[in-house]
Structure formats: C-alpha cells, structure tokens
Amino acid sequence: MRDRVESEDVKVHSPRTANIDVQDERRGSVFNARSENSFVQTSKSDLWKTCSNIRSSMDSTGVLLLDMEDHFYYSLDQFGAQIWITIETSPSGIAFDDILDALETHFDAPRNQLAEDFRVRLQRLRALGFIEMLRKT
C-alpha cells in the first residue's frame, strides 16, 4: 500500500533552540525552515549525497538524523525519511529526478506535487547541513 504525502515540517531538537529557527554556527547565519525560498538544482549533472558527519536511525514513524559535529538531532516524517533513505543508499550521489522516481513508487500523489514537496524538503536538508550537492563532471 502506498502512503499519501503529508506536509509536515522537519522537527528540530537541540539544546540551543526551542523552535524551527536554527543557528548555523558554521556559517554564522540563521535558517528558518518554514520560509526558505532558495532554488534547488534539478539538473541531471547535480547529484545529492549525505554529509559525512550525519548519522541516521529509522523507526516506524520516520528517520532520526544526528549531526555529530553540532550535537543535535532532527526527526523526519515518512516522506522526509524516504528522501533520506534514497539519498543515503546512493553514496556516490543521486540526481533529483532519480530520487523523484523513487518517491513515486512509495507515495500516491501527482508527480508535480511530489516534486514541489520534495524540493522544499531537499532545500531544508541542504540548508541544515545534512546533504550536499555535487556537480557531476
């Protein structure tokens, strides 16, 4: 049975913050996960991969991500978890469309809706330092 996409924010858990605003000390900026409007690359030459300082643990509700450098964790719902699992199982990187193809097999939603929800989640994961984009040469 395929799950429906639900729009749920990434939950941020840190001794430094009580809400979704996260101080990114490495970059000296504040990121508000509810209002990111940055563009996410969708080119086939852009690959997405997990950052090496992140550890993950899965359960029935989603995935828990632990940032080993900054010592805080994030929980992802089932949609975010599927994105994470797809990227994590491609250690050399994976293109946007390939991740979107995988999401289509798990969620009963139109491709354009999946793509929009996916872009938001991808940007959030990147801005929070969990994933990085590589340019395929």
Asked if 68 and 54 count as a contact pair (C-beta separation under 8 A), the reply is yes
Our separate counts of H helices and E strands in the chain read 3, 9
What beta strand segments (E) does 7-136 contain?
11-13, 21-24, 29-32, 46-50, 54-59, 62-67, 72-76, 94-95, 131-135
Residues in the chain: 137
Query: Is 4 part of any domain?
Result: no
Containing domain of residue 57, as a range? 11-35+42-135
Query: What φ, ψ does residue 131 adopt, rounded to 5°?
Result: -130, 160
Question: What does pTM read for this prediction?
Answer: 0.73
Query: Is 28 part of any domain?
Result: yes
Count of domains forming the chain: 1
**Mean pLDDT of all residues in 103-108:** 96
3-state secondary structure of 59: strand
Query: Is 101 part of any domain?
Result: yes
3-state class percentages of the chain: helix first, strand second, coil last, to nearest 5: 25, 30, 40
Query: Is 51 part of any domain?
Result: yes
Query: Is 47 part of any domain?
Result: yes
Q: Which amino acid is at 4?
A: R
The β-bridge partners of 55 are: 66
pLDDT in tens, 65-83: 999 998 889 999 999 999 9
Query: Is 1 part of any domain?
Result: no
Integer Cα distance of 32 and 1 in angstroms: 34
pLDDT in tens, 19-66: 333 434 333 444 444 344 455 667 778 999 999 999 999 988 899 999
101: domain CATH number is 3.90.930.60
Query: Is 31 part of any domain?
Result: yes
Query: Is 116 part of any domain?
Result: yes
